[in-house]
Each structure stands twice: as structure tokens, then as C-alpha cells.
Structure 1
Amino acid sequence: MKSIKVLGVVFFTTLSAITAIAQNSKTVVENAIASKDHTTLVAAVKAAGLVETLSGKGPFTVFAPTNAAFAKLPKGTVESLLKPENKAKLQAILTYHVVAGNLDSKAVVAAIKAGKGSATLTTVQGGKLVGSIDGKNVILTDEKGNKSTITAVDIVSSNGVIHVIDSVVLPK
């Protein structure tokens, strides 16, 4: 019985390492495409014409809203943003979710602690996100005062890192 438990732990550890390698070899876009929870984000990135940019060298730190996060937006918002005539607005919103550099969760938390409770992150769009800690959660506050919780961290990609968030953040 003991050998079966050990074998299970070895298998799980190996599987985790293989998954990490698979993530590490993919770009932030490829990792988003592989996620069933980010189909709306992927559709938006494609509609905005940002696939090539976010597949580039980077590094990028991407705060990736889930499908459920997009569903929180007012009815019809996503459909409207995906229209060709709203491409510039969609690009602005999506690049507001990206910070230049490779900020893993330890770096984000360290910046918040160094800032005595908050850290201002400048996005690729040019706007600001403010990171803070509430209990054990890292919270992002956008320029409109909306809050989003980081729900998964450190999805390491070949050109950056992804942190999953539970709400869409919006620039001014």
C-alpha cells in the first residue's frame, strides 16, 4: 500500500512538472487559448488584433479575466466590443490588462508591501492599476474604482506570466 502512495506522488509530481513545461513553452496567448475558462478573452484578443503582439517577445504580465468575469459586464457589452467598429476601444481595454515585464506573484506582493499596502502598476495601455492585499487575496483596483481579485497566479509562459482575475478591469 505504501508503494502505491509513493508511486502516486511521483506520478502527480511528474505530471505537474510536465504541465509546467508545457505552459513554459507556450506564449501567454497560447496558454489562454488552452484554457476553457478564457474563451471570451481569446475571442476579444483575436477581434482586437492583438494575437501577434501578445505572442511577441515580451515579457508581459497579463491579468486575464475569466469568462465569468466578462459575464459580469452589462448585457451586450462584450458583443458590442467585439464589433469591428469598436476595435480601438477593445484594444484599450485589453492592453489595460497587461503590464510590461515579468511580475510573478512574489514580485506583485513584494511591490505592495514595499508600497506600504499598495502598488501602482502602469499598464501597456498607459493607465494605472493599484494592487493591494485584503486578507489573503491580492486585489486590483482600476481607474474607475472597480475591484478584481486575483484567483490564480504564476501561469508561466515563454513570454511572460498570467494571473487570472475574477472581474474585468476598465480604464478611465
Structure 2
Amino acid sequence: MKAAALAAIAATTGLAAIATAPAAAHHHKAAAQQAPNIVETAMSTGVHETLVAAVKAAGLVDTLASPGPFTVFAPTDTAFAKLPDGTVATLVKPENKGTLTNILTYHAVAGNVTSSDLVSLIKKHGGEASITTVAGGKLTARLSGDTIIITDAKGRASAVTQADVSTSNGVIHVTDGVFLPA
């Protein structure tokens, strides 16, 4: 129980790889050497329940637990709650799996893209950087002060509220909005 609580706190503070190592030391040696993967990290935060349910409904658990690496922009439960009433309940229905998969893969980028990588790209491209997602769609990244803002194909802007949550197979950037493809 303590290890799970530490992992949840560590994941929400961006210190997952560092803070979970002492807790993991009580487990098998190999487990102590590896940080949780993207799915395990999202499951441990307490603020990504909707995202985890959607990933399960879309059948993407194995993909997001694979070696990757992936960069995932992870909307919080509060972000999903901002969608129109009934949207999430409709999306997780089996008949909407394709749409849900497209939305979720629109939140993922191949490779390990840190916030400093994003900032460098934004500066290199004159204040805006285009990012191609696993779904094949485009996201636009820009800065507002020190905050990275991601704009989806529908023109909805979301802030990265917590960057660089390291996992064994990539990185998570927590967002305050859900991205919708065109």
C-alpha cells in the first residue's frame, strides 16, 4: 500500500522514476531497476481515471505498455469533464472504438519528446512548432510565458500543466484539455 501511495504522489509530482525506486526496492530486483510504463504511471496518479478507462476501452493498453518510446499528452479527469455531457460515455461504447482510438492516438507522439525539446522546436520555428501524432494528425505547440500550449486541429488550446513525467517507455505531459482531431 505504501509503495502504491508513493508511486501516485511521485507520478503526480513528476518524480516517478526517482521517488518510486526506494519503494520498489522491496520488490524483485529487476522491478526496482525499471520505472513504471506509461499505463502504469497513468493508473497511479489518481487524476487520469477517465484516460485509463478510455485506453482500456480502445484496446491500447498493450501498445502504451510496449517499449516505445512514446510521448503522451495526458488529459486529466477534469479535462475530460470539460467535454459536453455524455461525450466520454458515448466514446467508450464498443461501437465507437475506432473514434476513441483515433482521439487517444492523437494524444501520442512517437519518441521521447521532453518539454525542453518542445521549447527548442517552438523557438526554432519562430514561436510555433507543428507536431505529428501517432494518429497522423497535427498539433501546434507554442509558449505562453513559461507554459507550453498545445492547440489541436479544432483550434482548442490546452496547457501542459505538468511536463516531463518520466516512464520506462517514454514521457507524459499532463494537459488541462482533451485534443480533438479534425
| TM-score, L = length of structure 1 | 0.88
Is structure 2 residue 149 aligned with structure 1 residue 144? no
Structure 1 residue 69: Cα displacement: 0.2
Aligned residue identity for 1:54? L
Is structure 2 residue 52 aligned with structure 1 residue 42? yes
Distance, in Å, in 2 between the alignment partners of 1:42 and 1:109 is: 28
Aligned pairs (5 A) from 1:18-57: 18-19=18-19, 21=21, 25-57=35-67
Q: Which residue of 2 aligns with 1:65?
A: 75
Aligned pairs (5 A) from 1:66-85: 66-85=76-95
Structure 1 residue 18: Cα displacement: 3.9
Q: Which residue of 1 aligns with 2:27?
A: none
Distance, in Å, in 2 between the alignment partners of 1:97 and 1:39 is: 16
Equivalent residue pairs, number: 157
Q: Which residue of 2 aligns with 1:170?
A: 180
Distance, in Å, in 1 between the alignment partners of 2:60 and 2:102 is: 11
The CA deviation string for residues 50-79 of structure 1, in whole angstroms up to 9 with x for no partner, is: 000010110000000000000000000000
Q: Which residue of 1 aligns with 2:97?
A: 87
Q: Tell me, which stretches of 5 or more residues in structure 2 are unaligned?
A: 1-14, 25-31
Aligned residue identity for 1:19? A
Q: Which residue of 1 aligns with 2:108?
A: 98
| TM-score, L = length of structure 2 | 0.83
Aligned residue identity for 1:159? N
Distance, in Å, in 1 between the alignment partners of 2:38 and 2:90 is: 25
Give the direction of change, closer, same or farther, for the CA distance of 1:20–1:140 in structure 2 (3 Å limit): farther
The CA deviation string for residues 22-76 of structure 1, in whole angstroms up to 9 with x for no partner, is: 6961111110010100000000000000000010110000000000000000000
Give the direction of change, closer, same or farther, for the CA distance of 1:18–1:134 in structure 2 (3 Å limit): closer
Distance, in Å, in 1 between the alignment partners of 2:110 and 2:69 is: 6
Is structure 2 residue 131 aligned with structure 1 residue 121? yes
Q: Secondary structure at the match of 1:33?
A: helix
User: How many percent identity over aligned positions?
Assistant: 56
Bigger Rg over Cα: 1
Q: Tell me, which stretches of 5 or more residues in structure 1 are unaligned?
A: 1-15
Distance, in Å, in 2 between the alignment partners of 1:83 and 1:169 is: 19
Structure 1 residue 20: Cα displacement: 5.7
